[in-house]
Structure 1
């Protein structure tokens, strides 16, 4: 690629035969988000019922002896790890689904993925089919995948049309939400109460088991995410232009949607449905980067920052009572969704 063909605000990065376009402002935004995420992680590890200094936290993290090893290493660190990884997965999932749908109102919460995870988990818990909480993550992943793939299959008519994808997703979400209510009403009372707690989305009790497999999921998704970042420019074309240029638009959309569904399902499996993170993160990232496409890395980092900070607020706002992290993200995300709806009615971008 010659210098004359490089769009304004971009730089070309080359790694052997491969070349990549780097958006400069996106890179600066990603660096700022990394610093903010590091500060949020340190604050979350330091603050709690007892305050631990950053120096002592560093000792625990690096494996050196510390009197705060139990509090930081056993209670806070695993929780922060799961929140960070789930936030990365939700931010990236939201960016991919909004890119495919070309709609800022699209997210796993809206197109049925989170509702599918909740419906299956609540059904299995309420009717005592699942007797161990260790089986819940697998049920959540399965429910989210089935719901997401069902939406995709119903929206496919010789190709994936963005508006139909969102509308069918909303319809499936409503149906699954009603089904979840039926399960809660008809199922065993004690099990149904446990299901209600899980549905709020909580990092309480999250540990190495969840962070371990979620890390492997994100690592496996990295090559596909790199491909998706390069393929985003083709998604912005309309169908007629894409066909004229010889682009395989349907395959690109299918790959992005599938990755988004998998990531959102795995995040729900790790900590329950944490609503609105996947909706907010991509739009915050776009405004920070001021780019034409949603910056995937910035969106993932934004999701991680939102979840880690929300969990810190959930633990400290009404201490010693701990709120589920999903309650805090819901309190922030619901007004944000209303603002997006009002903005879209006025014709805003």
Structure 2
């Protein structure tokens, strides 16, 4: 509870900072005046219509990605069990690419629908291929990595075969960005993530029981296959919904559960993981906006760079533990 409270406080602090900074610099008083409706029309437009959707989307989507990673890491009992590694993010990207390149549609609704369908379809395929007298975590990761490799190759072929302007649009979406996000774009995804976070909280007990092993979970009355399938579905949509809005964003789902675990020394709650995911994604977005070279970059550039470093560190620790 203490770690969660600290993380939420830090997230609120950088959220306030995110509402203040930009081309138009605002004070704390200006921000609260805009939120209460007492500021000028220009200030209210900047805070409420431009900056607030971005900040809230980063917080909610970060929480969703963190919890999604925690679910997969618990099911696979492996710190590499993340939607980034297993391939669900690649499936969402493939679905969006098909919409952008094949149908030549650049509408937000079409791209979001393609990403959502692609992520869910990939999850179903991986689950079917990994299922053999139950779903074991290691087999799920191996099958997921194989499917992800195939999808990445398919994505490269689609980009190479498309026209330059269409490929540029698809590649820009594939980096993952919150730039220019509006209420109309963010609200459906945010509502979906909030609903699924509540579902994940309800299903936290079966998740914790399954971490003890299949025999222990069954002895406590947990129906393994039904619970696994339900948790995988929740985790996939928690990844696909943010991806449909902002594109594939790496690192958060992979790192947030492990960082939260090292702070809390306990894997008994998803709350600190959600708070850590919100803090990481919002912090990365603010870094992308203000600190790196003074220009606005896609948040995926920052998370991908940090994620690569973190992945190397995890592999190094596992190799050292094994030796």
Structure-1 separation of matches of 2:207 and 2:221: 15
Kindly state the Cα deviation for residue 73 of structure 1 after the two structures are TM-superposed.
2.2
Q: What's the offset of the Cα at 1:157? A: 1.1
Answer yes or no: is the 8 Å Cα contact 2:30–2:39 preserved in 1: no
Q: What TM-score, normalized to structure 2?
A: 0.94
**How many angstroms apart in 1 are the aligned matches of 2:121 and 2:292?**
37
1:208 aligned partner: 183
Tell me the equivalent position of 1:325: 299
Q: Are residues 1:172 and 2:156 paired?
A: no
Match of 1:68, SS state, is: helix
Matched-pair contact (CA < 8 Å) for 2:61–2:193: no
Find the counterpart in structure 1 of residue 39 from structure 2.
65
CA distance in 2, matches of 1:317, 1:132: 31
Aligned positions, number: 321
Which of these two proteins has the greater Rg computed from alpha carbons? Answer: 1
SS where residue 109 of structure 1 aligns? helix
8 A contact 1:118–1:143 mirrored in 2: yes
Partner of 2:83: 108
User: Any unmatched runs of 5+ in structure 2?
Assistant: none
- Residue 59 to residue 162, structure 1, CA distance change in 2 (3 Å): same
Q: Is 1:133 matched up with 2:102?
A: no
Matched-pair contact (CA < 8 Å) for 1:235–1:252? no
Question: Hey, what does 2:55 align to over in structure 1?
Answer: 80
Partner of 1:148: 123
Matched residue SS, 2:83: coil
Residues 126 and 189 of structure 1 are in contact (CA less than 8 Å); yes or no, is this contact kept in structure 2?
A: no
TM-score (norm 1): 0.88
Tell me if 1:295 matches 2:243. Answer: no
Q: Find the partner of 2:93 among 107, 118, 122.
A: 118
Larger relative helix fraction: 2
Q: Secondary structure at the match of 1:295?
A: coil
Contact 2:62 2:279 in 1 (8 A): yes
1:175-212 Cα distance to aligned partner (Å, 9 max, x none):
10000000000012211100000000000121112321
Q: Distance in 2 between matches of 1:215 and 1:128?
A: 27
Quote how far apart the aligned CAs of 1:247 are.
3.1
**How well do the aligned residues superpose, as a CA RMSD in angstroms?**
1.7
Render the CA deviation track for 1:115-156: whole Å, top value 9, x for unaligned: 001112122212344242332111111111111121111111
8 A Cα contact 1:154 1:168, kept in partner: yes
Structure 1 equivalent of residue 133 of structure 2: 158
Q: Cα deviations across residues 33-89 of structure 1 (Å, max 9, x unaligned)?
A: 110110110011111223211111111122222352232222211211221221111
Can you give the 5+ residue segments of structure 1 that lack an aligned partner in the other structure? 1-26
Distance in 1 (CA, whole Å) between partners of 2:59 and 2:198 is 20
